[in-house]
Structure 1
Amino acid sequence: MARLNYVELPVADTARAKAFYEQAFGWSLTAFGPTYAATTSGDVDLGLQGDAAEATGAPLPVIEVDDLEATLEKVKAAGAEITRPIFAFPGGRRFQFRDPAGNELAATRTD
């Protein structure tokens, strides 16, 4: 089953953005280094990407899937452009793609 489980926002200042979301909404964000923080509720979580080299130009919706490699093939066959091949991160693996309308998304498989 595939479901939206994460939205990653590009931010200029991770600490400032983290403080904003904690104060405004009462969320608890975990810092994963100086340029990344995220909620870890297990529902639809929010990530704050402060590394300009890693950040996308707009919010990045992330879809959780059961089989990452099979999803990669389906996405390509459906006409998407792969913008970042499968890579590992703490807790899982993902790839990023641009749909035919130009939206960038990611598909992930968590450990």
Structure 2
Amino acid sequence: MSGQISWVELPAADTARARAFYCGLFGWGTSEFGPDYHVIGGGPAGAIAPRGDGFTHPRVYFGTGDIDASAKQVRELGGHSEDVQTIPGVGRIAHCHDDQGTPFSLYEPAAQD
């Protein structure tokens, strides 16, 4: 799982328009997961979400089995990692930039009981 793309977020100024576009283009469906956050069905593992500061291009999440160690390694390799965030029932994420400024995110799934 480490290093594999596990999730993609597509930013949109108008998520209703983006959903109509991508669902029309690819035949996807969507379901609302949170306020204006729409999980893609019948397509890649991901969501359509509101565009925001620093979130203007698709965001790729790479899986990791130990997000704390991976975030630390990002910094050791000259990149930047924001604080690790816990998403209840989903797992933990950290938004990062590599040593050349390219944004990406890390994802560690929640432990299964």
Shorter-chain TM-score: what band? Answer: 0.7 to 0.9
Contact 1:35 1:51 in 2 (8 A): no
Give TM-score, length-normalised by structure 2.
0.81
2:12 is equivalent to residue 11 of structure 1: yes
Residues 84-95 of structure 1: pairs in structure 2 closer than 5 A:
84-90=82-88, 91-95=90-94
Aligned to 1:78: 77
Identity of matched residues, %: 28
C-alpha RMSD of the superposition: 2.1
Residue 74 (structure 1) shift: 1.1
Residue 40 (structure 1) shift: 5.3
* Bigger Cα displacement from structure 2, 93-102 vs 25-34: 25-34
2:24 is equivalent to residue 23 of structure 1: yes
Residue 2 (structure 1) shift: 2.3
Residue 63 (structure 1) shift: 0.4
Residues 1-111 of structure 1: pairs in structure 2 closer than 5 A:
1-39=2-40, 44-50=44-50, 52=52, 56-82=55-81, 84-90=82-88, 91-111=90-110
* Bigger Cα displacement from structure 2, 28-37 vs 94-103: 28-37
Distance 1:78 1:99 in 2: 8
- 1:66-90 residue CA offsets vs partner (Å, 9 max, x unmatched): 11111111111111112x3111225
Structure 1: gaps (5+ residues): none
Structure 2: gaps (5+ residues): none
Divergent runs of 4+, >6 A: none
Distance 2:61 2:41 in 1: 14
Give TM-score, length-normalised by structure 1.
0.82
Aligned residues: 108
